DNA sequence: CGTCAAACCCCCCAAAAGGGGGGTGCGAAT
DNA sequence: ATTCGCACCCCCCTTTTGGGGGGTTTGACG
């Protein structure tokens, strides 16, 4: 639905449990085409060079290696790969993560659904830098919030258009923007997400 | 979407404000084809006989006439018309309302959205008898709740089918049942409604 | 001054949704 | 003993959705 073609994901983590956990989690998503894993920096760079993954999930504590290093190394051999850094215990400043070329930074204790959503948002071009937790300030425009409210009432795009005196196509563009910003695929999930974020009454 | 053809609604109320309020409210709904009004019993019966409305909204306090009487009278001349009784202040037992042939009974201080929803639910064949308020115990089956939960994650019917080892078509029947029971037209509204009813985590 | 994002409009397309009809079997209730 | 809700399967159909292009204007911000 979002994905015209599935995403290729690379998981880099030296702990087998984490590593396989993510792979099982992501392989289950219909928009994930393939999900491979690497245990160390060298292996990760090889994979990245060959597979050109869309997203790389990199653990910050890569044994002897640093996650930030791995991030730079991967983006050197595969510049189109978006990197999502994952912290176990330690913290990292968004600035450091950004300068390493990462598109996002999350904590390992996020729920599975939120991690999955973060991967999707990054693949779609958003950045995810967690300060306090998932879903801080999504930054919908006024119009988008208005459309979102009508979506939640079950209105079709045509009805929304009639209500707001717009063309149905413009409404679709707003909905697309909403989905992108919320990291969501469709109306139903958008409503759920919006409720969780307190964007709806 | 729900309506292959729009609903015809008749509003019976001797207070002009209420009367027009409902008409304005309902005319705005895309699934309402026409919405006429009558001020008294006789007028109401005439309208019902000619227009054969799908739903009649009847005020309980019809001046000298009783709303329950009007209900019986209307269903005599137009048996397919579903009747929704509306109480201003007074209360009526569901038993009395049922024996008069009403499909539902609500209070005037319900929110606009809930009244609209009640009309739709009745038109779809459900009964709406308010005890404590709108949306008491919708009575989804286990399977339906399961499907609803997946809908809220943005899953498509095909994905739900894969997850629950069903055919996509069976999933669609569950979704239809969910929509009917919640008085809702589509996934987005179902998610919103379910949240409000506490059916989702 | 340019630039950028928001908001609006048009075209196209494939996929999904939603509703209609038909059917089966089960178990619980009347 | 028959009815009713639940769960499951098949066919058909139209509408809606979501994404892909392309474009304009406006107003804010540097």
* pLDDT tens-digit map of B119-178: 887 887 777 776 554 444 467 888 998 999 999 999 999 999 988 989 999 999 999 989
Q: Is the CB of A195 under 7 A from strand D?
A: no
Residue B166 and residue B103 share a domain: no
Task: Give me the phi and psi of A107, to 5 degrees please.
Answer: -105, 150
Q: Is residue A2 part of a domain?
A: no
Q: Is residue B125 part of a domain?
A: yes
Helix axis angle for B112-123 and B16-27, nearest 10°, is 70
Whole-number mean pLDDT of chain B?
79
The residue with tokens 């009007």 is B70
Chain A residues whose beta carbon lies within 8 Å of the beta carbon of residue B30: 156, 159, 162
Does A192 sit within 8 Å of B191, measured CB to CB? yes
Does B190 sit within 8 Å of A195, measured CB to CB? no
CATH number at residue B169: 1.10.10.10
Q: What's the pLDDT score for residue B93? A: 60
Nearest by CB to residue A154, choosing from B153, B185, B200, is B185
Residue B180 and residue B83 share a domain: no
Q: Is residue A146 part of a domain?
A: yes
Residue B106 and residue B164 share a domain: no
Residue A11 and residue A100 share a domain: yes
Q: Is residue B134 part of a domain?
A: no
Q: What's the pLDDT score for residue B102? A: 83
Nucleotide nearest to A178 (CA to C1'): D18
Interface test with B, best of A186, A191, A196 (most B CBs within 10 A): A191
Residue A47 and residue A11 share a domain: yes
Q: Is residue B154 part of a domain?
A: yes
Residue A154 and residue A69 share a domain: no
Q: What's the pLDDT score for residue A91? A: 54
CATH number at residue A48: 3.40.50.2300
Chain B residues whose beta carbon lies within 8 Å of the beta carbon of residue A184: 154
Q: Is residue B137 part of a domain?
A: no
Residue B185 and residue B121 share a domain: no
Residue B91 and residue B165 share a domain: no
Q: In this structure, are residues B13 and B59 in contact, taking their beta carbons and an 8 Å threshold? A: yes
Q: Is residue A137 part of a domain?
A: no
Q: Is pLDDT of B9 > 80? A: yes
Q: What's the pLDDT score for residue A82? A: 86
Protein residues with Cβ atoms closer than 7 angstroms to any atom of nucleic acid strand C: A 1, 139, 141-144, 161, 164-167, 169-170, 173-174, 186; B 1-2, 4, 156-158, 168-169, 172, 175-176, 179, 185-187
Chain C bases closer than 7 angstroms to a protein Cβ: 6-12, 15-21
* pLDDT tens-digit map of B25-62: 777 677 777 788 888 888 899 989 988 888 899 887 66
Residue B157 and residue B81 share a domain: no
Q: A68 CA, C6 C1': separation in Å?
A: 35
Q: Is pLDDT of B78 > 80? A: yes
Chain A residues whose beta carbon lies within 8 Å of the beta carbon of residue B1: 156
Residue A92 and residue A29 share a domain: yes
Looking at A97, A129, A161, which one is the last position of a domain? A129
Cα A95 to Cα A75, A83, A100, B96: the distances in Å are: 17, 14, 9, 69
**What span, in angstroms and rounded, lies between the C-alpha atoms of B8 and B118?**
15
Looking at A88, A108, A129, which one is the last position of a domain? A129
Q: B1 CA, C20 C1': separation in Å?
A: 13
pLDDT band at B111 (very low <50, low <70, confident <90, very high): low
Q: What's the pLDDT score for residue A157? A: 92
Domain span holding position A48: 7-129
If 0-12 CB within 10 Å is exposed, 13-18 middle and 19+ buried, where does residue B15 land?
Answer: middle
Task: Give me the phi and psi of B16, to 5 degrees please.
Answer: -60, -35
Does A190 sit within 8 Å of B195, measured CB to CB? no
Q: Name the residue among A121, A177, A169, A166 with its Cα closest to residue A144.
A: A177
Q: Is residue B135 part of a domain?
A: no
Residue B151 and residue B59 share a domain: no
Number of domains comprising chain A: 2
As given in the structure block, the two tokens for residue A128 are 């995810």
Chain B contact for A1, CB < 8 A? yes
Residue A73 and residue A25 share a domain: yes
Does B188 sit within 8 Å of A187, measured CB to CB? yes
Pairwise pLDDT comparison (A129 vs B116), residue with the higher score: B116
Chain A contact for B168, CB < 8 A? no
Looking at A129, A164, A181, which one is the last position of a domain? A129
- Averages of pLDDT over runs of 10 residues in chain A (201 residues) are 65 76 75 81 90 87 71 87 76 66 76 78 74 54 89 92 90 90 90 82 68
């Amino acid at each position: 639905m979002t994905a015209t073609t599935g995403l290729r994901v690379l998981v880099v983590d030296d702990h087998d449990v984490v590593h396989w956990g993510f792979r099982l989690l992501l392989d289950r998503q219909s928009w994930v085409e393939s999900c491979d894993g690497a245990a160390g920096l060298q292996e990760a760079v090889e994979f990245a060079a060959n597979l050109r993954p869309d997203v790389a999930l990199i653990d910050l504590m890569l044994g002897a290696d640093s996650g930030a290093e791995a991030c730079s190394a991967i983006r050197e051999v595969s510049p189109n790969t978006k990197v999502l850094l994952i912290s176990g215990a330690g913290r990292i400043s968004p600035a450091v993560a950004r300068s390493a070329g990462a598109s996002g930074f999350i904590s390992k204790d996020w729920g599975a659904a939120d991690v999955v959503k973060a991967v999707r948002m990054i693949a779609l071009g958003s950045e995810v830098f967690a300060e306090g937790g998932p879903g801080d300030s999504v930054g919908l425009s006024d119009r988008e919030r208005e459309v979102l409210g009508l979506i939640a009432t079950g209105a079709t795009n045509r009805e929304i258009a009639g209500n707001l005196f717009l063309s149905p196509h413009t409404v679709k563009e707003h909905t697309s923007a909403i989905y992108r910003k919320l990291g969501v695929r469709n109306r139903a999930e958008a409503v759920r997400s919006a409720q969780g974020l307190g964007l709806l009454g």
